[in-house]
Amino acid sequence: MENLGASPQQESVPRPDFHQLLEKIASFTPDPCDSPYRANREAADIESSAFDRAADAVTKGLNASGASPSSPMERATDALTRLQRMSAEINASWQEENRFQFEILDLPPVLVVKMGLRSHETFFVFGRSEGRSGKLSEDWHSESSVEGMIGDNVWHSVLGLYPLFRGPSQHARFLASFGYMGCAGSTGGLYSAYEWSPRFGHLKLIIKQAGSFGLDDKVPGFPQIGKLQTKGSLITLPYCWFSPIDTWDNPSLCAVDSYDVSGDNVQFRSRTYNRPDLVPVAKVLEFAEQRDYRAVLGYCALSDVARRLVRDIPPYVFAADLRVSITGTNKERVELGFEPTYRFDVEMLAGRWQVVGFSAH
């Protein structure tokens, strides 16, 4: 008997393959800054799909081990090289750096693959799970991260991959350093460190730190601090960030964080600032705008100063101009803004800089 209540089965529309996606994106300019917003959104969707199809091709190649005695690294390289050649032909009108590119970080038992197309770069990790038996499964699969996804107004993304020291359990670790750019102005950055969990066959986030970088790295009176160091058991991650004491489209405050990666549990070690004397001023302004008295108090020596800050600071403060004068040993006066001018007295107390006075004129 015919089932009149059943809806007809819809035929699934096949997903475009990598070749078709390259043909679709070839009609776009390689530089998003030469295209309108709507076109860039469409191109970004194609890029994301192309990365997924590329990951599928690598997974298929890795799982074809029965037909070839080659290593996983060789099988992945073969699969990606075919895609790279395809892009070189289809996207021949683009500069080479905009065509499909790849790099492989071999971190047994996993492969970390960096992929780039048009103006974005991302990564996939390919591995196998062990399960309770401790024996690797036959099938490879891929893992990716939301940090590598293409977002609104992020028209350029660049990626650096760095192996990290393995702890006593010898789990594979790596750092992904992303840089995000629009078509003008400052840039954003993100450090994300991951560890591969062989038992479950997935990535575990172990470090995450966002930052910003300005139009240049020469802000008068605010030198950047530290260098990216990923070798050995102590790593350092430098970054800057925008704060209320900035005077233009460049972040003034910078820091370098250090992490101890010698053990199975990664531990934060220290944070060093380029201008520790001005950090409490930036922090009390940030938290006073949010009316967070307890957070403001953490950077003040006196409770009445914290209360006045929470009471008097407007919803948004931008320094526009910053004036710092030494008033004594480990004592400074910091003035910023015009009409009103905000004045802060800061002093080194108990080994750290604190706000000891505040007034608005």
Question: Highest mean pLDDT: which of 3-17, 34-48, 237-251?
Answer: 237-251
Same domain, 26 and 148: yes
Kind and range of the H or E element at 78? helix 72-90
Same domain, 160 and 239: yes
Instruction: Confirm whether 12 is domain-assigned.
Output: no
pLDDT band at 17 (very low <50, low <70, confident <90, very high): very high
pLDDT tens digits for range 114-155: 999 998 999 999 999 876 666 777 789 999 876 655 555 677
Longest dimension (CA), the chain: 96
Same domain, 219 and 116: yes
Scanning the structure block, which residue is given the tokens 């992904």? 176
Instruction: Confirm whether 5 is domain-assigned.
Output: no
Same domain, 104 and 210: yes
Of 211, 245, 273, which one is at a domain's C-terminal end? 273
Instruction: Confirm whether 8 is domain-assigned.
Output: no
Counting the structural domains of the chain, the total is 2
Instruction: Confirm whether 116 is domain-assigned.
Output: yes
Of 220, 253, 273, which one is at a domain's C-terminal end? 273
Question: Could you tell me the CATH number of the domain that includes residue 287?
Answer: 3.10.450.100
Instruction: Confirm whether 7 is domain-assigned.
Output: no
pLDDT tens digits for range 214-273: 767 677 788 889 999 999 999 999 999 999 999 888 899 999 999 999 999 999 999 999
Same domain, 217 and 347: no
Same domain, 58 and 97: yes
Instruction: Confirm whether 316 is domain-assigned.
Output: yes
Contact 114, 102 (CB under 8 A): yes
Same domain, 322 and 174: no
Same domain, 136 and 81: yes
Same domain, 103 and 200: yes
For 128-249, strand residue ranges (E) read 141-144, 156-163, 173-181, 187-197, 202-213, 218-219, 222-223, 234-241
pLDDT band at 65 (very low <50, low <70, confident <90, very high): low
Kind and range of the H or E element at 280? helix 279-289
Name the amino acid, one letter, at 337: G
Instruction: Confirm whether 10 is domain-assigned.
Output: no
Same domain, 286 and 247: no
Beta bridge partners of 335: 323, 343
Query: What is the residue range of 339's domain?
Result: 279-360
Same domain, 296 and 220: no
Q: What is the pLDDT of residue 290?
A: 96
Same domain, 306 and 265: no
Instruction: Confirm whether 13 is domain-assigned.
Output: no
Of 244, 273, 302, which one is at a domain's C-terminal end? 273
